[in-house]
């Protein structure tokens, strides 16, 4: 079974959704047969590499969200995050374009460390207040999960994996993805948002049953039919 997840490293609900999906997958009896692939998506590709302002200023000035409303949103989000073992700190968030971070994630995916990189970079952004567009930060995060520092720096300095990020984004548009997180199960089911664990688990069960239907055997003259639990 293949699960593709479109998300932005600077989307708080994507981090919450990641945790909830992981809980559903952990209890799934066929989890060893599930391949999870992270896909790139940018909520605001127009952002500069480094935005001169706070997260509150960015959302107020560029998104038109009033400060009071924003604080209420953050309180709700923080409560949801705490329920998943996350500690968001919105006052420390470093605002900037996520394109470089997505290229870093593609490097990690190529090395078989995609999930670890996703976890590290989202924690750095939402919990630690680190600049995930900064090459030194990415080098530290990458070496912490087993990536080569020289390769990280070379990747960030150039445009390696840029086409991969754009390809993911175009694929999302083709599929009709309008927001993240967005989960695609076996290219049959789409799940939008950080849904409850039960929703993810139901999708996993349904997709597995469709891919592995029970075989009904016709009784023979020698005895009754044999089912999945015996004869």
Q: Which residues of 206-219 are buried (b: 16+ CB within 10 A; e: fewer)?
A: ebbeeeeeeeeeee
Give residue 89's pLDDT band: very low, low, confident or very high (50, 70, 90).
very high
Whole-number average pLDDT of the chain: 92
The string of pLDDT tens digits covering residues 168-206 is: 999 999 999 989 999 999 999 999 999 999 999 999 999
Domains of the chain: 2-211 (3.40.30.10)
Strand-pairing partners, residue 187, are none
Distance CA 37, CA 19 (A): 15
The string of pLDDT tens digits covering residues 71-87 is: 999 999 999 999 999 99
Give residue 212's pLDDT band: very low, low, confident or very high (50, 70, 90).
confident
């Amino acid at each position: 079974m293949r699960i593709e997840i479109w998300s932005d490293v600077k989307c708080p609900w994507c981090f919450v959704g990641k945790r909830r999906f992981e809980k559903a997958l952990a209890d799934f009896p066929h989890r060893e047969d599930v391949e999870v692939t992270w896909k790139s998506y940018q909520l605001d590709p127009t952002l500069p590499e480094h935005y001169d302002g706070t997260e509150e200023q960015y959302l107020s000035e560029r998104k038109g969200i009033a400060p009071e409303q924003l604080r209420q949103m953050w309180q709700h989000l923080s409560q949801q995050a705490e329920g998943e073992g996350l500690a968001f700190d919105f006052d420390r968030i470093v605002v900037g374009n996520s394109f470089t971070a997505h290229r870093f994630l593609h490097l990690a995916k190529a090395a078989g460390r995609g999930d670890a990189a996703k976890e590290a970079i989202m924690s750095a952004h939402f919990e630690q207040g680190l600049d995930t567009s900064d090459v030194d930060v990415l080098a530290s995060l990458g070496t912490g999960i087993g990536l080569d520092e020289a390769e990280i720096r070379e990747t960030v300095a150039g445009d390696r994996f840029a086409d991969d990020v754009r390809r993911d984004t175009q694929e999302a548009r083709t599929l009709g993805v309008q927001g993240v997180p967005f989960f695609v199960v076996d290219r049959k089911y789409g799940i939008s948002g950080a849904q409850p664990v039960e929703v993810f688990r139901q999708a996993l069960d349904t997709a597995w049953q469709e891919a592995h239907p029970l075989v009904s055997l016709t009784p023979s003259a020698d005895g009754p039919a044999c089912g999945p639990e015996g004869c």
